[in-house]
Amino acid sequence: MARKFIYLVAILIVLTIAGAFAYRIWGKELLAIATVPTEQFEPLPAQPADAYRDAKMWLARPDKPGNPALWTPAAYKPGAAPEAAVFFIHPTSFLDRSHWNAPLDNQEANDRAALFLRAQASAFNEVGAIWAPRYRQATFGAFLTTDGNAAKALNLAYGDVAAAFDAFVAQAGDRPIILAGHSQGALHLLRLLREKVAGRPLAKRVVAAYVIGWPVSRPVDLPALGLPECKTADQAGCLLSWQSFAEPADPSLVVDAYDASSGTDGKPRRGTPMVCTNPLTGTPDAAAPATANLGTLYPAADLGSATIEAQRVSARCDPRGLLLIGDPPQLGSYVLPGNNYHVYDYSLFWANVRADAARRLATFKRK
């Protein structure tokens, strides 16, 4: 019996190693097979202009009970009277390959989005009241294919975000505005900046735009966004962006897609430098030791809570514009191929993002 057990353990170890090897070598292909829908895109009607007056269309809104964006780790509290209004676009939480876009009532996607708000949008709840819309997000697999259906799905998702943003501006009054998003949310935020902020009076109310987990080309994208890159830690009216990788990093999944894409002006992004804001310093192209990290969120195994620990994770921008964080921290099982800590872009630097928003709002108010 003991010998059979040893054989079984040996077989399981070999299978585990083989699986890990396959994931490392064919990670993108395996993810695509598992997540890209095989059906055709289903055209859906646009949201009516007044849809986002309804509290049910929001995952987070200042008057919404059980607002997940008000969560904080121990020793932190939401601001008693936040002065800014925050529009936060959550990342992809719909992983189903049965549809190109998430139904608004998909419970699993909404629950996962609420987790993202607790880990990400909560960083802003000291300085701002947070609005985060439900939207018919494109499914995860839409980012792993060049199929034309993917572009249609993203366009549909953006239509919802744009409608929600108009409602947000109407509801937020004349307060200073912080714009933030992650991953798919950051992609939609880029378009929102181009179409609804750049060159408009509203741009003067923007404290900062946190375009996190999505590449932004300095020469190709920035000129059309209406906001400059943040150059100093207390600058207001500017844009921040980073993408986190532990070392050794293999960013080919991100870089290949970036190099194959076109920017906001239609020119190719290939070879152009990306915006890299070091969240530990609030400045571009910088390096900082772990001692500068005010606090990283470490989620519980059930993801129901998290603790915050300071001085655990360093950060430095590499020449191409990727943010390298050194040895892989043990934050959970959602690290993507290539030591890509994409899921944890905010969690890695939660307390620094919180301090960053407060500094930039203080500068905005002085002006």
- Condensed to tens digits (0 to 9), the pLDDT of residues 242-263 reads 999 999 999 998 898 899 888 8
Place of tokens 């750049």: 198
Place of tokens 């998430």: 102
Q: Which of 246, 247, 226, 245 is nearest to 237 (CA)?
A: 226
What CA–CA distance (Å, rounded) separates 228 from 226?
Answer: 7
- Judge whether 18 lies within some domain: no
String of DSSP letters for 347-363: GGGHHHHHHHHHHHHHH
Residue 13 has pLDDT above 80, yes or no: no
Per the confidence metrics, is the pTM higher than 0.85? Answer: yes
Chain-wide mean pLDDT for the chain?
89
- Judge whether 30 lies within some domain: no
Q: Domain count of the chain? A: 1
- Judge whether 4 lies within some domain: no
**Enclosing domain of residue 249:** 36-366
- Judge whether 13 lies within some domain: no
- Judge whether 176 lies within some domain: yes
Q: Kindly report, residue by residue over 80-119, the tens digit of the pLDDT.
A: 999 999 999 999 998 888 888 999 999 999 999 999 999 9
In the chain, % of residues over pLDDT 90: 74
What CA–CA distance (Å, rounded) separates 121 from 347?
Answer: 10
- Judge whether 73 lies within some domain: yes
- Judge whether 23 lies within some domain: no
Element (H, E) at 244: strand 244-245
How far is CA 344 from each of CA 40, 89, 159, 235, 299, rounded to the nearest angstrom? Answer: 32, 16, 27, 25, 10
Which residues, including other chains, have CB under 8 Å from residue 190's CB and lie 6 or more apart? Answer: 211, 214, 216, 221, 225, 264
- Judge whether 110 lies within some domain: yes
